[in-house]
């Protein structure tokens, strides 16, 4: 009876943890996983010395090359698209070794702590600047409205007196307090002479 050799057709994975320098000169730590399987064990054994190690090395090189051509914003935004591109490149490179790359996933992109702090400080400064612009715009609109109100009141002296009385009424309804009415000095002096 002949003894048959059986080969494992297991699914394998390569876990990649690598420092990558992006196009905009940001150093990031990338965690990625490459799922692959050996579809032709004979070719896999004869073409490369260690198929698993070769797949991992080509995956790391491809990861560095692809991410090195992208900016940090592109990497964070288009992770799925880059995973698909990387899968196609890896399959083309490894199919001659009897290996089929099934899926590539960019799991995590980590920024250095110093860069995180710098980005947070920049975002805070941007928010503060925007708040100051909004406050200044509000002050400008308020001062224009006050100027327009003063112009209207200057046309009619009785309008100023009515506004004064309205303000006193508002104060009286809000608080139970003593109200002092200022009188013009020229009015008081006319009473003093008599």
Higher pLDDT, 67 or 190: 67
Pairing of the two strands 11-21 and 99-110: unpaired
User: What would the pLDDT profile of 40-50 be if each residue is shown by its tens digit?
Assistant: 888 888 888 88
> What residues contact 1, with CB distance under 8 A and at least 6 apart?
none
Q: How confident is the model at residue 18 (pLDDT cuts 50, 70, 90)?
A: confident
SS3 22: coil
Give the chain's end-to-end CA distance (angstroms, integer): 144
In the chain, how many H helices and how many E strands? Answer: 7, 3
Among 82, 79, 80, 64, smallest CA distance to 22 is for 64
Higher pLDDT, 19 or 141: 141
Q: Which CATH number fits domain 11-111: 3.30.479.30, 3.40.50.10860, 2.40.30.40, 3.40.50.300?
A: 3.30.479.30
DSSP 8-state code for residue 25: S
Average model confidence (pLDDT) for the chain?
81
Model pTM score: 0.55
* pLDDT value of residue 133: 92
Contact 36, 56 (CB under 8 A): no
* pLDDT value of residue 168: 74
Contact 11, 23 (CB under 8 A): no
User: What would the pLDDT profile of 94-145 be if each residue is shown by its tens digit?
Assistant: 888 888 888 888 888 888 788 778 888 888 999 999 999 999 999 999 899 9
């Amino acid at each position: 009876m002949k003894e048959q050799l059986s080969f494992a057709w297991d699914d394998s994975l390569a876990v990649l943890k690598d420092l990558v320098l992006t196009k905009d000169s940001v150093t990031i730590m990338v965690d990625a996983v490459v799922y692959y399987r050996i579809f032709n064990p004979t070719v896999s054994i004869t073409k490369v010395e260690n198929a698993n190690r070769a797949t991992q090395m080509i995956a790391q090189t491809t990861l560095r090359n692809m991410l090195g051509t992208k900016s940090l914003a592109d990497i964070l935004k288009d992770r799925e698209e880059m995973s698909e591109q990387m899968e196609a490149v890896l399959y083309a490179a490894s199919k001659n070794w009897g290996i089929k790359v099934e899926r590539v996933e960019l799991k995590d992109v980590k920024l250095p702590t110093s860069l995180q702090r710098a980005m947070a400080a920049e975002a805070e400064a941007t928010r503060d600047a925007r708040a100051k612009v909004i406050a200044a715009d509000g002050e400008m609109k308020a001062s224009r409205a006050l100027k327009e109100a003063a112009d209207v009141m200057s046309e009619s002296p009785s309008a100023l007196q009515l506004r004064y009385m309205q303000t006193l009424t508002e104060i009286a309804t809000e608080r139970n307090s003593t109200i002092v009415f200022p009188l013009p000095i020229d009015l008081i002096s006319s009473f003093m002479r008599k």
